[in-house]
Amino acid sequence: MNEREGLMSEERRQFIKGSAALAVGAGSAVSTGAWAAGSDAPEKKEVRIGFIPLTDCASVVMASVLKFDEKYGIKIIPTKEASWAGVRDKLVNGELDMAHVLWGLIYGVHMGVGGPKKDMAILMNLNRNGQAITLSKKLADKGAVDGASLAKLMASEKREYTFAQTFPTGTHAMWLYYWMASVGINPVKDAKVITVPPPQMVANMRVGNMDGYCVGEPWNHRAIIDGIGVTATTTQDIWRDHPEKALGTTGDFAKKYPNTCRAVIAAVLEASRWIDAGLQNKNKMAETIAEKSWVNTSADAINQRILGRYQNGLGKTWDDPHHMKFFDDGAVNFPYLSDGMWFLTQHKRWGLLKDHPDYLAVAKSINQTELYKQGAAAAKVSLPKSELRSSKLVDGVVWDGKDPAKYADGFKVRAAAAA
């Protein structure tokens, strides 16, 4: 038995042990009821949660499929949506109660950027890492297989280069812009950037509508399976342990239904813990969400990268310990104020915000840290020591949330430089 097989066998043993304990725990909790009647009871029993067909909708879907929601006195109704713009509109008009959603979308709507202005709320972070930037096979055939070689090709072979992201203020736009800027490409000046819904990325690349895109899985690995794209970088290589999707709602909903919000947080935390508990759970999750009603792809497009097994489409393979995580003992899920502030700094950097906001005040009004702490206590999930955290991104610049205006203005490549 080699080292990897040994590790996998140990993981399987841990899974069997862990899932048996989980099953016993879940059964007893359901029968006794985790919420007392009265003031703690969820005000709204059925909660419509929108999702986009992506691997990282898994914790919301599995909370419903595995009935973790019932444990907390609610019924999660996952609702499949076609685009992030659709998710935004349905959240704002109340058709959806909550959504698996982009951090930057919630912050953008709250600031009146990229849609109608409305007070918004983030209840928790759903996952870290696990997105990627895909370049077309045509670019790869010309030598553009990573950031540096892309910049070289764009400088030597002048034409309009088109790249896609999933929503103008969203995470994928910000990862794409940050990565391009780190190799000297100004995404505002040097390229055409378009918005394409995640499930449509592969089809659009197949017909030649874009040279590259940034999106969540499984739509990067799918491009490799289909032979039309290569993985140029992963988002964890841009910012290790970055926030990705959030559980978002409106400010009004969070104020009106706090017990419901706490119950959903607790249920999704339980599902997140279940997914990350071991290999068998991850494979079961992949098989489940691959079904037509959820992501509608093959399980093999999902299950490799959630285990950290990567290939770039050009023969290179590697095991990435910083692959998509849903729980990681609760480290994934806390809605850090500094994470929200970072998106505001990038919105300012790229001209989406004209003036510096009060970064910390905005983050405090959006990120429902107290509701999260209460939901985490119900699910027995540990909390971080601080509501701010520090990270070093791909360009070597450290982000810690302490001087956001200086940070936002400190980038050499930004929208102002395009004038």
Mean pLDDT for the stretch of residues 65-78: 98
- In this model, does residue 22 exceed pLDDT 80? no
Pairing outcome for strands 212-216 and 131-136: antiparallel
Please state which of the ranges 9-18, 98-107, 203-212, 237-246 shows the lowest mean pLDDT. 9-18
Q: Write down the pLDDT at residue 34.
A: 46
Mean pLDDT for the stretch of residues 127-135: 98
How far apart (Å, rounded) are the C-alpha atoms in residues 47 and 37?
19
How far apart (Å, rounded) are the C-alpha atoms in residues 235 and 65?
29
User: For residue range 369-382, what is the model confidence (pLDDT) as tens digits?
Assistant: 999 999 999 999 99
CATH topology of domain 131-241+393-418: D-Maltodextrin-Binding Protein; domain 2 (3.40.190)
Interior angle at CA 233, CA 232 and CA 235, nearest 5: 150
User: For residue range 308-341, what is the model confidence (pLDDT) as tens digits?
Assistant: 999 999 999 999 999 999 999 999 999 999 999 9
Q: Write down the pLDDT at residue 40.
A: 87
Q: Write down the pLDDT at residue 38.
A: 53
- Look at the pTM and tell me if it is higher than 0.85: yes
- In whole numbers, what is the pLDDT of the chain averaged over residues? 91
How far apart (Å, rounded) are the C-alpha atoms in residues 73 and 319?
40
Q: Write down the pLDDT at residue 416.
A: 73
Mean pLDDT for the stretch of residues 173-177: 98
| 182 band by pLDDT with thresholds 50, 70 and 90 | very high
Q: Write down the pLDDT at residue 36.
A: 44
- In this model, does residue 103 exceed pLDDT 50? yes
Q: Write down the pLDDT at residue 96.
A: 98
- In this model, does residue 31 exceed pLDDT 80? no
How far apart (Å, rounded) are the C-alpha atoms in residues 33 and 73?
7
CB 340 within 8 A of CB 334: no
Mark residue 184 as left, alpha or beta (left: phi above 0; alpha: psi -120 to 50; beta: remaining).
left
Please state which of the ranges 16-25, 92-101, 149-158, 340-349 shows the lowest mean pLDDT. 16-25
Token pair belonging to 151: 């910049």
Please state which CATH number belongs to domain 3-128+243-315+327-335+357-387: 3.40.190.10
- In this model, does residue 23 exceed pLDDT 50? no
Q: Which residues of 311-330 are buried (b: 16+ CB within 10 A; e: fewer)?
A: bbbeeeeeebebbbbbbeeb
- In this model, does residue 37 exceed pLDDT 70? no
What residues are paired with 131 via a beta bridge?
A: 216
Q: Helix/strand/coil (H, E, C) string of the chain?
A: CCHHHHHHHHHHHHHHHHHHHHHHHHHHHHHHCCCCCCCCCCCCCEEEEEECCCHHHHHHHHHHHCCHHHHCCCEEEEEECCCHHHHHHHHHHCCCCEEEEEHHHHHHHHHCCCCCCCCEEEEEECCECCEEEEEEHHHHHCCCCCHHHHHHHHHHCCCCCEEEECCCCCHHHHHHHHHHHHCCCCCCCCCEEEECCHHHHHHHHHCCCCCEEEEECCCCHHHHHCCCEEEEEEHHHHCCCCECEEEEEEHHHHHHCHHHHHHHHHHHHHHHHHHHCCHHHHHHHHHHHCCCCCCCCCHHHHHCHHHCEEECCCCCEEECCCCCECCCCCCCCCCCHHHHHHHHHHHHHCCCCCCCCCHHHHHHHHECHHHHHHHHHHCCCCCCCCCCCCEECCCCCEECCCCHHHHHHCCCCCHHHHC
Q: Write down the pLDDT at residue 33.
A: 40
Residue carrying structure tokens 């058709």: 95
User: For residue range 286-301, what is the model confidence (pLDDT) as tens digits?
Assistant: 999 999 999 999 999 9
Q: Write down the pLDDT at residue 21.
A: 36
How far apart (Å, rounded) are the C-alpha atoms in residues 354 and 376?
37
- In this model, does residue 18 exceed pLDDT 90? no
User: For residue range 384-395, what is the model confidence (pLDDT) as tens digits?
Assistant: 999 999 999 999
Q: Write down the pLDDT at residue 116.
A: 86
Residues of the chain within CATH 3.40.190.10 domain(s) are 3-128+243-315+327-335+357-387, 131-241+393-418
Q: Write down the pLDDT at residue 4.
A: 39
| Contact partners, residue 28, CB within 8 Å, separation at least 6 | none
